[in-house]
């Protein structure tokens, strides 16, 4: 026999919280939600909190550690992700007679309308009984509700280094739409990064701007390359 239904507390403001049974929760309920906890910055704090400007959201999204930041940036780079909320809610429920409370790190909505709850934990902590049991309970609860659940740790360092570099060119408003379209059309055949910059230079009128534009096309996935290898002028770029 299953235990009592889990509940979700969704913060709408400092003084307003909606309490909903998890089985009744729908993504639209988070339209006006704010992070459950306030992201704080103070001297000598143990974790490096911050605020990342997300191209997906065209707004800032908070994180509470550098590891959360890394996974947030990769979610922002994922073309499947259409919406991101950090510290989305407080989950409360019964775990075989034990009351558990948990605040996930991120809630993601995908282009196919699927929903994913993400928890970020250092790999070295995943085997700790307290952490393992909490995450296992969260997985059971969310997957029963029909949501995907991911536990993410340290990303591949090369993939992350490439994505972090490309993130410098993520802001769409810094690029001219007509030049983006023209460059996309120009780069219809596979070529190296260096060749792509030279091909786009007549469009922008400056090789520095051409380089930035090609990097923007990589961030927006109009071009693809092998991100398991560090980007260089010889990296092979292909249209998507």
Q: Is 77 among the domain residues?
A: yes
Strand partners, 21: 7
Structural domain total, the chain: 2
- Which band of pLDDT confidence, cut at 50, 70 and 90, is reported for residue 171? very high
**Shared-domain flag, residues 99 and 194:** no
Q: Is 98 among the domain residues?
A: yes
Q: Is 1 among the domain residues?
A: no
Task: Give the whole-angstrom CA distance, residue 127 versus residue 134.
Answer: 11
**Shared-domain flag, residues 124 and 14:** yes
**Shared-domain flag, residues 38 and 111:** yes
**Shared-domain flag, residues 43 and 143:** yes
Give yes or no for residue 2 having a pLDDT over 70: no
Q: Return the pLDDT at 40.
A: 67
Give yes or no for residue 1 having a pLDDT over 70: no
**Shared-domain flag, residues 28 and 122:** yes
Q: Is 90 among the domain residues?
A: yes
Q: Is 173 among the domain residues?
A: yes
Q: Is 2 among the domain residues?
A: no
**Shared-domain flag, residues 21 and 91:** yes
Mean pLDDT over 136-159 rounds to: 97
Q: Please report, for the domain that includes residue 40, its CATH number.
A: 3.40.1350.10
**Shared-domain flag, residues 56 and 143:** yes
Task: Give the whole-angstrom CA distance, residue 159 versus residue 81.
Answer: 18
How does pLDDT run across 24-51, given as a tens digit for each residue? 999 999 999 999 987 766 666 666 889 9
pTM confidence score: 0.93
Q: Is 24 among the domain residues?
A: yes
Which residues make Cβ contacts (< 8 Å) with residue 169, sequence separation at least 6? Answer: 212, 215, 216, 218, 219
Give yes or no for residue 217 having a pLDDT over 90: yes
Domain span at 225: 157-239
**Shared-domain flag, residues 125 and 205:** no
**Shared-domain flag, residues 57 and 116:** yes
């Amino acid at each position: 026999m299953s235990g009592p239904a889990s509940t979700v507390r969704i913060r709408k403001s400092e003084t307003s919280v909606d309490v909903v049974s998890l089985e009744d929760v729908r993504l639209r309920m988070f339209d006006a939600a704010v992070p459950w906890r306030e992201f704080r910055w103070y001297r000598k704090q143990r974790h490096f909190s911050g605020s990342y400007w997300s191209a997906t959201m065209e707004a800032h999204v908070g994180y509470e550690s550098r590891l959360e930041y890394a996974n947030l940036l990769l979610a922002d780079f994922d073309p499947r992700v259409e919406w991101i909320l950090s510290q989305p809610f407080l989950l409360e429920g019964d775990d075989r007679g034990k009351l558990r409370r948990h605040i996930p790190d991120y809630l993601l909505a995908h282009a196919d309308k699927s929903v994913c709850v993400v928890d970020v934990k250092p790999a070295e902590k995943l085997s700790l009984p307290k952490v393992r049991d909490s995450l296992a309970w969260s997985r059971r609860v969310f997957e029963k509700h029909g949501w995907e659940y991911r536990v993410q740790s340290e990303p591949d360092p090369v993939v992350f280094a490439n994505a972090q570099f490309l993130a410098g060119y993520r802001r769409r408003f810094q690029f001219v739409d007509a030049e983006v379209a023209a460059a996309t059309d120009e780069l219809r055949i596979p070529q190296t990064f260096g060749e792509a910059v030279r091909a786009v230079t007549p469009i922008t009128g400056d090789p520095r701007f051409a380089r930035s534009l090609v990097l923007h096309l990589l961030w927006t996935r109009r071009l693809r390359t092998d991100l398991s290898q560090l980007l260089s002028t010889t990296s092979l770029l292909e249209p998507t």
